[in-house]
Amino acid sequence: MEETKKCPYCGGEILAVAKKCKHCGEWLIEREKLVSEPKPKPVEEKPQTKEVNTKKTTKRIWIGCVAILLLIVAPIVYYYWSEANTDAMYDRTEDYIKQNLGKNVEEYKQEKAEEDRQAAEEAARKAKEQQEKEAQIEKVVSELSGKHTVVGPANDYVFYLKGRKGKYEPKLYSQSIYGSSESSNSLEQFYDGSMEIQDFAICSGNVVLIVNETDRNSTGFLVSTLVLSLNASTNEWKDLSDGGCVKAEFIDDKTKVKMTYGEIINPDAEYTLDYKYKYSTKEVAL
């Protein structure tokens, strides 16, 4: 009688030499190999030896030495390269002077030195003139401040107003910083009633006045405000408010003026007191 064994998958009895189970159909060869073949042993890692550590340390020392050597040698190499490059550039400059200017290098250097000397003297002269001018401006401003309201200096003139705030004369006065003669610019061309200078500023060589017309005008506004600018160089007036606004004020340290305009939205009202207004604003850089 032939020897038998049990199938490891279904437990059925099969021949001992069978390669496949007749009951469940599973192959028995692969499972037998897995059971019979021994598992490979894990490879043991050898501890790092002292020799390996010594090699790493030596390598680091060499790298450090090379880095230090480069730090020492690089500046020396750069210096000699720079000197050689400068000499080459000088040679090219010398050739350029001879070919294009028809001069030798020494003659060119002397002329250049003379030009530099004259430029330095001119700069010193202008600086001295500016200091003297500023001192003269300060003197004239000090003299006028004791008697009038100084607006400020512009184009070799110091501008000022006569009277007191709210009661200034409708004129802008000026005096040259190099003399004591007085001149004036009237505002009468801009109005036909009474006006009051409310505020003033000087910016970019222009004198700017905010002036209120105190008479009632035809639109029903109680006050019409003008913003007038005088060019100190040309002595010409300009109306920045384009005929007048409701209100004006300086902003941004008096480098701009903000103007408010009003428009009547019910012009058919029976009485001017019944007028209603729509307002808008505009800013102008001085």
Can you name the residues that pair with 82 across neighbouring β-strands?
none
Q: Angle CA(162)–CA(168)–CA(172) in degrees, nearest 5?
A: 60
- Residue 165: both structure tokens together: 């705030």
CATH topology (fold) of 147-285: Lipocalin (2.40.128)
- With beta carbons less than 8 A apart as the criterion, state whether 29 and 19 touch: yes
Q: What is the pLDDT of residue 253?
A: 93
**223-260: pLDDT as tens digits:** 589 999 999 989 899 999 988 888 999 999 999 999 99
**188-206: pLDDT as tens digits:** 888 766 778 999 999 989 9
0.75 cut: is pTM over it? Answer: no
- With beta carbons less than 8 A apart as the criterion, state whether 153 and 202 touch: yes
Domain with CATH 2.40.128 in the chain: 147-285
| Secondary structure element (H or E) that encloses residue 141, with its range | helix 105-145
